[in-house]
Amino acid sequence: MVFTEHQEILVKESWEAMKQNVPELSLQFFTTILEIAPAAKGMFSFLKDSDEIPQNNPKLKSHAVKVFKMTCEAAIQLREKDKVDIPESTLKYLGSVHLKKGVIDPHFEVVKEALLRTIKDALGEKWSEEMCSAWGEAYDQLAAAIKAEMKEEA
């Protein structure tokens, strides 16, 4: 599938707007993941031992931001080179982290849904269907790269 310049711009611009409010964004993202899949809670070290989602956990924030940033970077790479191009070392590391935590393919759909819902909530009237599918496509390609690596390592 061709990733257009317009799609790249939609992703980049919406990320620029959203990153102004990282604390809220990361909490919302996480809350949505757990709404869709409550059982995922046990997988995350920063959630395991608390009843609620910690409001001010630096690790939660920085990881959540990485998911957004990496998806945004994937969009740029798709537009520039028609493929997701993550450094081998990063991919290997992410493959092993997710494998070790017991992440399986259907989980990727949960995170996708949560990501897209979070974007919609964050952007309000700036949100569009087209923007949503641009993020969705970039995420799918990024997820495919991580899943492939996980299968290699399994």
Q: How many residues comprise the chain? A: 154
* Residues from 88 through 147 that contact ligand ISQ (CB under 6 A): 111
Closest approach of ligand HEM to the CB of residue 90, in Å: 9
- CB environment 111-144: b (16+ within 10 A), e (fewer): bbbbbbbbbeebbeeeeeeebbebbbbbbbbbbe
Q: Which residues bind ligand HEM (CB under 6 A)?
A: 40, 43-45, 63, 66-67, 70, 94, 97-98, 101, 103, 107-108, 110-111, 139, 142-143, 146
Decide which of ligand HEM, ligand ISQ, none touches 115; Cβ closer than 5 to 8 Å per partner kind: none
Give the residue nearest to ligand ISQ (CB). Answer: 63
Binding at 30: pick from ligand HEM, ligand ISQ, none (beta carbon under 5-8 Å per type): ligand ISQ
Smallest gap from Cβ 133 to ligand HEM, in A, equals: 16
Nearer to ligand ISQ, 11 or 110 (CB): 110
Please give the DSSP secondary-structure letter assigned to residue 124.
G
Does 36 bind ligand ISQ (CB under 6 A)? Our answer is: no
Angle between helical axes of 105-123 and 129-153 (0-180°, round to 10): 150
Alpha-helical runs (H) found in the chain: 5-18, 22-36, 58-81, 88-100, 105-123, 129-153
Tokens coding 29: 């993202």
86 with 148: CB under 8 angstroms?
Answer: no
Q: Is 3 in the site for ligand ISQ (CB under 6 A)?
A: no
Give which of ligand HEM, ligand ISQ, none residue 70 binds (C-beta under 5 to 8 Å, depending on kind).
ligand HEM
Residues of this chain that interact with ligand ISQ (CB under 6 A) are: 29-30, 60, 63-64, 67, 111
